[in-house]
Amino acid sequence: MTTTVVRTRADAVAERLPSAFGIGLQRGALELRQFFRQRDQVVFTFAFPVVFLFLFASIFSDDVEGAGITASQLYVPAMMAAGIMSTSFQSLGISIAIERDEKVLRRLRGTPMPPAAYFLGKIWLVLVTGLMETAVLLLVGTTLYDVDLPSDATRWFHFAWIFVLGLTACALLGIAISSVPKSGKSATSVVVLPFLVLQFISGVYIAIDTIPGWMLNIGALFPLKWMCQGLRGVFLPDSARVLEQAGDWEFGRIALVLGAWCVGGLALCLLTFRWKNRRDG
Amino acid sequence: MTAHANELAVDVRGLRKQYGDVTAVDGIDLGIGRGEVFGLLGPNGAGKSTTVEILQGHRGRDAGEVSVLGADPANGTRAWRSRVGIVWQDESAPAELTVRETVRHFARYYPRPRDPEEVIGLVGLEGKAGSRIKALSGGQRRRLDVALGVIGGPELLLLDEPTTGFDPAARRQFWELIRALAEEGTTILLTTHYLEEAEALADRLAVVTAGRIVAEGRPAALRERYGTEATVEWTEPDGAPRSERTDTPTRTVAALMRRFDGEIPGLRVSRPTLEDVYLRLTGQEDAR
């Protein structure tokens, strides 16, 4: 008799476990609350790409020959792409490494929280912060550097999927790279160096027609180059297409590369994610 | 889930764990009944934490059978995790959140959590419920750790060195908390290197040293079994202190009385404390 009673109770517990999606939403709200309470982090996260946009777009402002745009205009979509990557790849790569080091992850693993809820929470966090970052850069770009908001629905549609796929791919890569640093202290250096290199070879700081082809080809293996290219396609006039390697925006190829990175990044996360530090066994 | 109401909450046989060349756990057997408070006592590095981490499901083992609430912790499901509460030795909590936000949030992970306000009261943090965690003292953080460990209403609570770094008053308060939880019927396993803590809280305790259990039983029984010898101390007429260990202290005192013909200078008869027993068992006797 006792056996039956206990078994029923255990089953009832299994049935009443809260859903991963629901907890994921709760975690997202919690992550955002934590993020916005660290005021210096908020200011620097959002200010960084804005300051860089201001510097580059003000220093390099000449007309680009034969493309019908100014160099300043080129920097607006480029910094937007970098901003998306910094709020996803960089912030997750660093913060998860620290959470692992400080045993926040281990504590979560000791509760019945489904692992997917943790990742959902992070996705909500980067979605909101990424949108805010993009909005700020767009505001600066349209008011100071003559970038026009797209007038047709097709371009807005391109913008939406480039944002979502780019953000997702970079977030997954950020989760994956968080397992590389040995401690929370080294996380910033480990994450920032590859991000900086990618920004140089993907056409963020330096126009793509100035970068050597072989560097550009390495950059083309990663999402950032395609995010920059796609956002140029959304926010620059078609006359600027001549500046691209292929002489075209290549939206189809961009979708393919970013989509592939989402799938590959997910696989990488599932294979490499650790709840504990290496030295904790 | 094949749980029986009368089975042991924790059933461990022949547990072994190596780290490289070091054997951390060297054949431990443990049986903890439901509702029992069990103390795992031993010096640092004796293998207590490793044992508890294996029970939590956070560390693999090299050999042995382990059953915690009827399941192998190595394949713990979400339902199983919801029945086990954990308080680690070194914890950290989200610094920017308040106590109340954190406890409420953790409650959402569980199928039938306790009332967050009640749990905050249970650990004595009512006055700090609205404070950010970064503003709490070490002892207050530890109480928050316990709150998060019990918020799911666990059947089994695993506490690893819960009071390390506490001042004596905070430690007493903490003991009251553990007693209150035990009263509610929670099975509790705690590790400690404070003997008085094990004696004050545990129904039964096991002394662990170098990865093995060297003694196990009720605290009073341990004292009796390993500490029958009494020590008789006195002072010789020339002022030299003397002492003698004996199983028959009365006889020794009677002999002294005849020798001194009356009052024996500096007489003291003492039974070993549990601490003496513990130090002898763990081979640290010389440390005194």
- Closest by Cβ to A110, choosing from B4, B86, B132: B86
Residue B1 has pLDDT above 50, yes or no: no
The answer, for B106 touching chain A at a CB cutoff of 8 Å, is yes
Nearest CA in chain A to B78: A112
3-state secondary structure chain A: CHHHHHHHHHHHHHHHCCCHHHHHHHHHHHHHHHHHHCHHHHHHHHHHHHHHHHHHHHHCCCEECCCCEEHHHHHHHHHHHHHHHHHHHHHHHHHHHHHHHCCHHHHHHCCCCCHHHHHHHHHHHHHHHHHHHHHHHHHHHHHHCCCCCCCCHHHHHHHHHHHHHHHHHHHHHHHHHCCCCCCCCCHHHHHHHHHHHHHHHCCCCCCCCCCCHHHHHHHCCCHHHHHHHHHHHHHCCHHHHHHCCCCCCCHHHHHHHHHHHHHHHHHHHHHHCCCCCHHHC
Residue B198 has pLDDT above 60, yes or no: yes
**Looking at CA atoms only, how far is residue A109 from chain B in angstroms?**
9
**Does residue B108 contact residue A23 with C-beta atoms inside 8 Å?**
yes
- Closest by Cβ to A16, choosing from B56, B90, B112: B112
pLDDT the model gives residue B92: 74
DSSP code of residue B259: H
pLDDT tens digit sequence for A124-161: 999 999 999 999 999 999 999 989 899 899 999 999 99
DSSP lists the bridge partners of residue B98 as B132
3-state secondary structure of B88: coil
pLDDT tens digit sequence for B238-262: 888 998 888 888 999 989 988 888 8
How many beta-carbon pairs under 8 angstroms link A with B?
Answer: 100
DSSP lists the bridge partners of residue B160 as B191
Query: What is the mean pLDDT of the segment spanning A13-26?
Result: 83
Pick the closest to residue A133 from A23, A196, A51, A221 (CA basis).
Answer: A51
User: Which chain A residues have a beta carbon less than 8 Å from that of B152?
Assistant: 111-112
Do the bridges between strand B212-217 and strand B63-68 make them parallel or antiparallel, or are there none, so unpaired?
unpaired
Q: Please give the helix or strand (H or E) that residue B158 lies within, else none.
A: strand B156-160
Q: Please tell me the distance from the alpha carbon of residue B157 to that of residue B52, in angstroms, as a whole number.
A: 11
Mean of all residue pLDDT scores within chain B: 88
**How is residue A60 written in tokens?**
């390099």
Q: Please tell me the distance from the alpha carbon of residue B211 to that of residue B191, in angstroms, as a whole number.
A: 13
How many CB atoms neighbour CB B42 within 10 A? 28
Pick from A74-88, A243-257, B77-91, B261-275: least confident? B261-275
ipTM reported for the complex, 2 dp: 0.84
Pick the closest to residue B8 from B39, B33, B35, B38 (CA basis).
Answer: B33
DSSP code of residue B263: P
Q: Do A34 and B92 touch (CB under 8 A)?
A: no
Pick from B68-72, B126-130, B218-222: least confident? B218-222
User: Residue B167's pLDDT band (boundaries 50, 70, 90)?
Assistant: confident
Q: Do A14 and B4 touch (CB under 8 A)?
A: no
Q: Please tell me the distance from the alpha carbon of residue A239 to that of residue B213, in angstroms, as a whole number.
A: 80
Q: Do B88 and A112 touch (CB under 8 A)?
A: no
pLDDT tens digit sequence for A189-243: 999 999 999 999 998 998 888 889 899 999 999 999 999 999 999 999 988 888 8
Q: Please report the residues numbered 28 through 57 in chain B whose beta carbons come closer than 8 angstroms to any beta carbon of chain A.
A: 56
Mutation for B interface: A9, A11, A13, A42, most B CBs within 10 A: A13
**Does residue A81 contact residue A138 with C-beta atoms inside 8 Å?**
no
The answer, for A32 touching chain B at a CB cutoff of 8 Å, is no
Pick the closest to residue A230 from A206, A253, A201 (CA basis).
Answer: A253
Residue A78 has pLDDT above 70, yes or no: yes
Q: Which residue has the tokens 């059953």?
A: B67
User: Which chain A residues have a beta carbon less than 8 Å from that of B96?
Assistant: 33-34, 37-38
Domain residue ranges in chain B: 225-287
Length of chain A: 281
**Looking at CA atoms only, how far is residue A89 from chain B in angstroms?**
21
Domain residue ranges in chain A: 26-280
Q: Do A11 and B1 touch (CB under 8 A)?
A: yes
Rg of chain A over all Cα atoms, to the nearest angstrom: 21
**Looking at CA atoms only, how far is residue B130 from chain A in angstroms?**
15
Mutation for B interface: A107, A118, A120, A279, most B CBs within 10 A: A107
